[in-house]
Amino acid sequence: MLKKTLIAFATIAAFSAFAADPAVKKSDSGICHDASSSSYGNTKKFTPFNTMDECIKSGGKLPAGAKAPTAAADPVKKSDSGICHDKSSPHYEKTKNFTPFNSMDECVKSGGKPPKK
């Protein structure tokens, strides 16, 4: 009984992970749509991405008339250990291997943690 319950729970958890809409959808035609795109809701067959930048780097294109996203001058750095460092962090300059984000909020939403104070 416990095994069946665990399998059912795992199935529900997996379904829930896919139930939420991603931040960016790359359509089968290679166009990257975020929530501001008029085609976002109509895009049913897609590859999900966390950011527009990730979608573009994968070979996707912006929708017609859309402006390219601008990267922050000093990106938030998510270290390999998952800690998000902004310019005010004492470890910002020391963090060499990282994933860049436009904001601390974006970094934390991706699973990162703010540095301890």
pLDDT tens digits, 57-79: 899 999 888 776 665 578 899 99
Asked if 82 and 102 sit in the same domain, the reply is yes
Quote the domain boundaries for residue 26. 20-69
Asked if 64 and 39 sit in the same domain, the reply is yes
Asked if 24 and 65 sit in the same domain, the reply is yes
Report for 5-9, 37-41, 69-73: range of highest mean pLDDT: 37-41
81 confidence band (pLDDT: 50, 70, 90): very high
The three-state secondary structure class of 99 is: strand
Asked if 64 and 81 sit in the same domain, the reply is no
Please answer whether residues 46 and 40 qualify as being in contact, where contact means their C-beta atoms are separated by less than 8 angstroms. Answer: no
14 within some domain = no
What is the per-residue pLDDT for 70?
A: 62
- Of all helices (H) and strands (E), which one includes residue 101? strand 98-101
Q: How much is the average pLDDT of 40-63?
A: 90
Judged against a pLDDT cut of 70, whether residue 31 lies above it is answered with: yes
What residues pair up with 113 in beta bridges, in sequence order?
83
Asked if 27 and 56 sit in the same domain, the reply is yes
8 within some domain = no
Asked if 84 and 101 sit in the same domain, the reply is yes
Judged against a pLDDT cut of 70, whether residue 51 lies above it is answered with: yes
Domain count for the chain, please give it.
2
3 within some domain = no
Tokens representing residue 43 in the block: 């895009």
Asked if 61 and 37 sit in the same domain, the reply is yes
Q: How much is the average pLDDT of 93-97?
A: 91
Whole-prediction pTM value? 0.46
